[in-house]
Amino acid sequence: MGLKDKLHKLKLKYKGKKMAPAFNAIHTFLYLPNETTHSGAHVRGADDLKRTMNTVIMALLPCLIFGMFNAGYQYHLASGTIEAVSNGFFSSEFWSLDNFMIGFWEIIPLVVVSYGVGLAVEFVFAVIKGHEVEEGYLVTGMLVPLIVPVDTPLWMLAVAVIFGVVIGKEVFGGTGMNILNPALTIRAFLFFSYPGWMSGDKVWVHSAVEKSGVDALSGETVLGFLANSKPFDYSVSDMFFGFIPGSVGETSAFLILLGGLFLIFTKIGSWRIMLSAVLGALVMGLIFNGVVNAGWVTDSSKFYALMSLEFWKHLIVGGIAFGIVYMATDPVTASQTNKGKWIYGFLIGFISILIRVFNPAYPEGVFLAILLMNVFAPTIDHYVVQGNVKKRMKRLKLKTA
């Protein structure tokens, strides 16, 4: 008798009991369930929640693997054992097993803790509330390790995951009911709770925090350099391909672009949100560039470095690309109407750059911008729908009059 049958027997035994959802979840996760629907006509849709989630995870995997290489690369680069990348995306300095192994052993624990703790919370709530375990955490659990610095202590991550899943999702009724993106709630919790581990010039490179004094390592992010008006020597291709310090999975604009195209192609992510968010960011960048060109801000201002950054470069530094492609498009927390999606996306891009430039304490504004717009998404939808209702009422009146 295989595991599948044993699980099936357990399921029958515990049917209607408290622990039933836990067994059901393990069973459906591992196997195709034995049950079939007995009556009624039903349409078979291939794109159920599980499929959707798996597609997003597939789009995230390149970022994760790149993040592992990058963690090792940044570590070796900062300790001076290897040279900087020399020939484009496939540089051998970057894609070495040595780099990968360092990153692998740093990042796999993050992934394990994120999934382990998050799913444990989901199981507990499913048992308490007596509903089935939902697949909602599959993507969140993958997003979380990608948006934190590589050296984040695991217990902090665990605390943040519990907070994010409970306060960000379960209090509103679980998957599909949440108003805030749980992964970003976790990120925001970490950022405000333990700022020393989430920003500054030490956290982005593995083991830089422990080492100090003579063999101190440091790896400021590009945004960090800009916010402090310090010079840096990353080329545009470094920034585009992602050979820069930053959170685990957010550095490579190139891979995020590919992931975004994949999501658009599979119709999982909304191209409206992605496109309008990019437009919003570019518009805000252009406004700042215009202000600088007009001479209203001189280089004595502390905002000068970020304001004078060419508008399109905002898209390839920091986490904005990652946020736009994987976070803003979360179907639960984004606007539902098409017109609403344009407004929602545009404001995310616009506000991200605004926060990035004007608040040096938060060099990365995209997670705050997305959380803010998550809160406003239902309002935007409401007015879009009301506008449509009014338009139609008018048409009706014209006809009857």
Least Å from the CB of residue 176 to other proteins? 20
- Kindly tell me which residue out of 195, 331, 378, 387 binds other proteins, with binding defined by CB under 8 A: 195
Q: How far apart are CA 369 and CA 137, in angstroms?
A: 22
User: Considering the complex, what minimum distance in angstroms separates the CB of residue 163 from other proteins?
Assistant: 9
- Chain residues 321-360 in contact with other proteins, contact rule CB under 8 A: none
Q: Hey, what are 199's tokens?
A: 């920003």
Q: Which of 94, 189, 225, 322 binds other proteins (CB under 8 A)?
A: 189
- Asked if 210 is part of the footprint of other proteins (rule: CB under 8 A), the reply reads no
Q: Residue with structure tokens 């004078």? A: 308
- Max Cα distance, the chain (Å): 85
Instruction: Give 168 or 249: the residue with its C-beta nearer to other proteins.
Output: 168
Task: State which residue, 203 or 268, has the beta carbon closest to other proteins.
Answer: 203
Residue 318 CA from chain centroid, whole number: 12
The answer to whether 248 touches 145, Cβ cutoff 8 Å, is: yes
Sort 84 into a burial class: Cβ within 10 Å, 0-12 / 13-18 / 19+. middle
Contact 189, 160 (CB under 8 A): yes
- Confirm or reject binding of residue 194 to other proteins (CB under 8 A): yes
Which span sits near other proteins by CB under 8 A: 37-45, 82-90, 185-193, 291-299? 185-193
Output the smallest distance, CB 167 to other proteins, in A: 6
Nearest distance from C-beta of residue 273 to other proteins, angstroms: 27
Among 23, 66, 115, 197, binds other proteins (CB under 8 A): 197
What does 237-280 look like in DSSP terms, one character per residue?
HHHHHT-S-SSTTTS-HHHHHHHHHHHHHTT-S-HHHHHHHHHH
Please state the closest distance from residue 189 (CB atom) to other proteins, in A: 6
Q: How many CB atoms lie within 10 A of CB 73?
A: 28
Two structure tokens written together for 155: 């217990």
C-beta closer to other proteins: residue 171 or 393? 171
List 192, 300, 400, 401, residue binding other proteins (CB under 8 A): 192
- The CA distance from 321 to 284, in Å, is 15
Q: How far is CA 154 from CA 102, 190, 201, 210, 342, in A?
A: 17, 12, 20, 16, 37
Instruction: Show the CA angle centred on residue 268, arms to residues 265 and 274, nearest 5°.
Output: 80
Pick the piece of the chain touching other proteins (CB under 8 A) from 149-157, 309-317, 357-365, 385-393.
Answer: 149-157
Nearer to other proteins, 199 or 251 (CB): 199
Candidate residues 130, 173, 176, 196; the one interacting with other proteins per rule CB under 8 A: 196
Q: Which of 54, 79, 91, 193 binds other proteins (CB under 8 A)?
A: 193
Question: Around Cβ 31, how many Cβ atoms within 10 Å?
Answer: 14
Nearer Cβ to other proteins, position 120 or 156?
A: 156
Q: Binding residues for other proteins, how many (CB under 8 A)? A: 13
What are the CA-CA distances from residue 286 to residues 290, 309, 328 (Å)? 6, 10, 22
**Per-residue x/- marks for other proteins, 150-179, CB under 8 A?**
---x-xx--x-------x---x--------
Q: Closest CB to other proteins among 154 and 389?
A: 154
Query: Which positions lie near other proteins, rule CB under 8 A?
Result: 153, 155-156, 159, 167, 171, 189, 192-197
